[in-house]
């Protein structure tokens, strides 16, 4: 587990795909490794979050509360990111993520991330680009969904 490895890991995250490797190394330096035991929560739905996690190894389940009980909606593995929205804005966690094996993560603090954005505007632009792509995708999905429900 070294800086180099972590920077490579960050590069695989969608949000950072376009960011220059040197900057990612800085972000890696500002981040830290965090280990979760099976059953431990990476984040809890409804709680305030100040950090994002990138899974380095192990697997975790994403669960949300529904009127009929708790539903597992996804399983995260290596290179998946948890809570990336939390490092961009103040909002409660939208789901609970629980480790199902020993999980090793790279933890990115909100303040460290924002500091990086402030110092290097080009990183901000790249992150924005990723977000815009995602927004475009979501919008088209929504449009599809709407036309599907109308039909």
Written as six digits, the tokens of 77 are 């593995």
CB of 13 to other proteins, least distance (A): 18
| Residue nearer to other proteins on the CB measure, 110 or 139 | 110
Number of H helices, E strands in the chain: 4, 8
Bridge partners, 37 (sequence order): none
The answer to whether residues 142 and 56 touch, using CB atoms and an 8 Å cutoff, is: no
CB of 36 to other proteins, least distance (A): 4
CB of 21 to other proteins, least distance (A): 11
| Residue nearer to other proteins on the CB measure, 125 or 143 | 125
**Three-class secondary structure of residue 82 per DSSP:** strand
Q: Are strands 69-76 and 103-109 parallel, antiparallel or unpaired?
A: unpaired
Which residues form the interface with other proteins (CB under 8 A)? 1-4, 6, 22, 25-26, 28-30, 32-37, 40, 42, 48, 90, 105, 111-112, 115-116, 118-119
| Residue nearer to other proteins on the CB measure, 107 or 141 | 107
Written as six digits, the tokens of 67 are 């009127």
Residue that has been written with the tokens 């380095």 in this structure:
56
| Residue nearer to other proteins on the CB measure, 33 or 134 | 33
| Residue nearer to other proteins on the CB measure, 3 or 71 | 3
CA neighbor of 114 nearest in space, from 149, 132, 141, 89: 89
CB of 84 to other proteins, least distance (A): 18
CB of 78 to other proteins, least distance (A): 17
């Amino acid at each position: 587990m070294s800086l180099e490895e972590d920077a490579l890991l960050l590069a695989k995250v969608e949000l950072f795909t376009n960011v220059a490797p040197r900057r990612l190394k800085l972000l890696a330096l500002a981040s830290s490794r965090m280990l979760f035991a099976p059953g431990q929560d990476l984040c809890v739905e409804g709680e305030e979050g100040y950090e994002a996690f990138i899974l380095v190894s192990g697997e975790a389940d994403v669960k949300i509360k529904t009127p009929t009980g708790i539903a597992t909606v996804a399983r995260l593995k290596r290179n998946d990111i948890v809570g990336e929205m939390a490092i961009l804005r103040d909002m409660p966690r939208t789901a609970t993520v629980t480790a199902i094996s020993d999980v090793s993560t790279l933890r990115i603090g909100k303040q460290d991330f924002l500091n990086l954005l402030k110092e290097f505007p080009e990183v901000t632009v790249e992150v924005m680009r990723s977000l815009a792509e995602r927004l475009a995708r979501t919008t088209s999905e929504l449009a599809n969904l709407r036309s599907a429900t109308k039909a």
